[in-house]
Structure 1
């Protein structure tokens, strides 16, 4: 097994106890990641729902709520070692309060396999976690204390991300890749319009922050492409089930990518 690890330090303008709630409890994780089931104890089960029937489950290996010194630890891994030739991922979140205020989360994902065949998977996790942790920062900055309702949908196409993105932009009513910090109005065919500020713009993800929540679209892969549309609605209730159906139908309409789409990004 490789010693290859993915490590990130996330500085947050929140107390350690608030951060612990966000990274280790069901309602907290839903505000920035995906819906979870969490048995709050070491040895308990953790389950994740990425949408469209894609779910994972594992065992909590560390459950240490924030103590008097402002530190806590939450970790989980697979129930059993995966089949031969597959990575055995483990995830760890270390919470530490800072002098003068604020909190740092030290995140470590281990279990990656060596070799060029796995570089793409490593890069995909890296890009994905960067967006999710940006969600966490944005939650504390703009929606702190509000519960989230999740709309999570996924799709797949044999085309590449380079050919998928122009189709997604068009499906969102955009003429092309928007600038970070610009104000846009998304007009998808089906779900209602979304007006907000572009707060994420990378090769893999487009993110818009509206007055009601966070809206994330992803397309990753050079040999087949996974596509996602994740939404976090805060405060005022929405019909999450109906919106999930609408966004899944939107993905289905635009995948597979029509023949002749330009291979540009």
Structure 2
């Protein structure tokens, strides 16, 4: 399996180039949709040509691994913007995972770029906080997903556009519409009045179930993460 990869995506967003630039090239904007908005850029090679191009290259790791993330922003008309995103690099000489990194990560970027589109369309200009929590190691199995669905009150597969009411015990009820689903994958993406809530099954990568929520109001982020972590730990205790 190749250790070099290149993931190329293009999306049309219902917003101005200035809104898209803010979302992809500032920490505040990244907190509204990206998978690692609070990571430091220290030591990274960063290129900025505002408001058209933003690129980040990671330093080379000991095993030779390197990642490059490039965003190209171009106005289509007065109300829409085209974003071209490229994630490329080398996984390192000791990479030996059985899954196809480019393919699997590409599916992940589909979801994150969709989250970006939802943020710009429904929540642009609102404060954003990314809340993430992982279940314990025992939840790193395909069978664990059914346990999660039962705890949320979900019955059967979900479809985009479906109204869904999630009831995690001890946490606020989440009432909204399914905004994203991944065919063949166990995943729930829900848009409510105040956020985009994501539940991930990641056993194919040997990882536990996780949540990654984007909440567009002022919250205690650390306290909210702690509450979701405690819920996941209790669920799979």
**TM-score normalised per structure 1:** 0.78
- Find the counterpart in structure 1 of residue 61 from structure 2: 82
- Find the counterpart in structure 2 of residue 246 from structure 1: 227
- Find the counterpart in structure 2 of residue 62 from structure 1: 47
In the alignment, the residues of structure 1 paired with residue 43 and residue 144 of structure 2 have an alpha-carbon distance, to the nearest angstrom, of 32
Question: Size of the alignment, in residue pairs?
Answer: 232
Task: Tell me whether 1:20 sits opposite 2:21 in the alignment.
Answer: yes
What does 1:230-241 align with in structure 2 at a 5 Å threshold? 230-235=212-217, 237-241=218-222
Task: Tell me whether 1:217 sits opposite 2:199 in the alignment.
Answer: yes
How far did residue 119 of structure 1 move?
A: 3.9
Summarize deviations over 1:134-172 as a string: whole Å, max 9, x none.
Answer: 111111111121111222212353565521211111121
List runs of 5+ in structure 2 lacking aligned partners: none
In the alignment, the residues of structure 1 paired with residue 222 and residue 78 of structure 2 have an alpha-carbon distance, to the nearest angstrom, of 42
- Find the counterpart in structure 1 of residue 82 from structure 2: 104
How far did residue 255 of structure 1 move?
A: 3.5
Task: Tell me whether 1:205 sits opposite 2:187 in the alignment.
Answer: yes
How far did residue 217 of structure 1 move?
A: 0.7
Task: Tell me whether 1:8 sits opposite 2:9 in the alignment.
Answer: yes
How far did residue 216 of structure 1 move?
A: 0.5
Whether the 8 Å contact between 1:15 and 1:102 is mirrored in structure 2 is: yes
Structure showing the higher strand proportion among its residues: 1
CA RMSD of aligned residues (A): 2.6
| SS across alignment from 2:156 | coil
